Amino acid sequence: MFFFLFTAGNFTIANAQTRPEVRLVLQITIDGLRADLINRYENGFGKGGFRFLMEKGTYYTNAHYQHANTETIVGHTTLATGTFPSQHGMIGNVWFDHEAGELAYNIEDPNHPIIPSRENVSKGEQVDPAQKKSRTQGRSPAVIVQLDRTLADLFAFIEKSVGLKYTLVVLSADHGMADMPEYMTELGYKAGRLDPDEIVAIANKAGQKLGVDEIVRFFYRPYLYLNDEKIATAKLDRMKVEHAIADALTDFDGIALAVASSRLSAHQTNPLLEQVRNNHHVSRSGDIYIIQEPYWFLFDKGPVAAMHGSPWRYDTHVPIFFAGPTIDAQMVHRRVHPVDVAPTIAAFLGMTPPPSAQGTPLEEVLE
């Protein structure tokens, strides 16, 4: 993406004399690069890749997503817009469309052939080939070192074609990554895999106690959608139904908390609730948000080795790097957030940030 700074004309006079010349903004987002992996594999890095960012750029070591459903599209959109899924609407890679009565995929659009089509795969399957690839390879040391070499090649190409001194480089990740529950069990942690059928069964059982059969309309992690018609026909108080089902789910092994959406408006300041609230989009989110216990997988059955999507630290923790003209080489350990990235890029270029951006420009980059 190119920004031609001095053609925009909306920079402030005070900054106009000192603003560096930027010819290219290069924003790189790595899939599932948990922040601590950089330190872990640092010894294997060569010159010019991550080392260029670490030695020449401002390196935020303590950046965390603030939404609960740490999935791919949610992270990408948050980085690009500087706001939360509650605003940008990308609440998950896949969600249930209340009106159409079927699953919706985040980049699906039958009118635009460039976007992958779901014709040959089952509903809910993620059709972005890049996502499939990353899931099977995981985040082994070899992959991280290979990524380091790819970055080095890219930066060398930029240096030759544009010049790194004219380029603002921004690197982060769309989410972190969890280790396999079986591995965590070996280390002595309590962990396991939650079965979606079991979750639906528990919720339906709680519904039966209230006199409604098969009260669950749909479940797609992390949201459970209830059957509005059945609740109305039975003349039940919707809020009471949601709370009864959420309580039954919370009691289940492996579920840390099930949050009824109607409870999100309450003035509660639990950090987990805050993350669920940031994820809550009025027309897309379901009725109950299910949060797994740390290290548990909330996923379909099958031999899935790597997983993300929880509100826990290993999934929210990502690196943020800014490198470019006038930016100091420094490591910053204060807590910052990916919603700060878009407002920082805008401020650096003297441009107006996206209208709903809620992040704060990172001062270390701008000083």
What's the full length of the chain, in residues? 367
Q: Near Zn ion by CB under 5 A, which window of 30-38, 40-48, 184-192, 212-220?
A: 30-38
Among 70, 167, 174, 336, binds Zn ion (CB under 5 A): 174
34 vs 337, beta carbon nearer Zn ion: 34
- Contact (CB, 8 A) for 303 and 80: no
- 315 binding Zn ion? (CB under 5 A): no
31 vs 287, beta carbon nearer Zn ion: 31
- 310 binding Zn ion? (CB under 5 A): no
User: Cβ of residue 216: shortest distance to Zn ion, in angstroms?
Assistant: 28
176 vs 361, beta carbon nearer Zn ion: 176
User: Cβ of residue 72: shortest distance to Zn ion, in angstroms?
Assistant: 3
Residue of minimal CB distance from Zn ion?
A: 72
Residues 85-114 that bind Zn ion (CB under 5 A): none
User: Cβ of residue 259: shortest distance to Zn ion, in angstroms?
Assistant: 23
For Zn ion (CB under 5 A), the number of binding residues is 3
Among 29, 58, 66, 72, binds Zn ion (CB under 5 A): 72
- 31 binding Zn ion? (CB under 5 A): yes
Q: Near Zn ion by CB under 5 A, which window of 167-175, 286-294, 323-331, 342-350?
A: 167-175
Q: Distance between CA 322 and CA 344 in Å, rounded?
A: 10
Residues 269-308 that bind Zn ion (CB under 5 A): none
58 vs 69, beta carbon nearer Zn ion: 69
In angstroms and rounded to an integer, the radius of gyration of the C-alpha atoms of the chain is: 22
72 vs 285, beta carbon nearer Zn ion: 72
Q: Distance between CA 355 and CA 82 in Å, rounded?
A: 9
User: Cβ of residue 74: shortest distance to Zn ion, in angstroms?
Assistant: 9
31 vs 179, beta carbon nearer Zn ion: 31
User: Cβ of residue 361: shortest distance to Zn ion, in angstroms?
Assistant: 26
User: Cβ of residue 145: shortest distance to Zn ion, in angstroms?
Assistant: 20
User: Cβ of residue 190: shortest distance to Zn ion, in angstroms?
Assistant: 26
User: Cβ of residue 133: shortest distance to Zn ion, in angstroms?
Assistant: 11
Q: Which residues bind Zn ion (CB under 5 A)?
A: 31, 72, 174
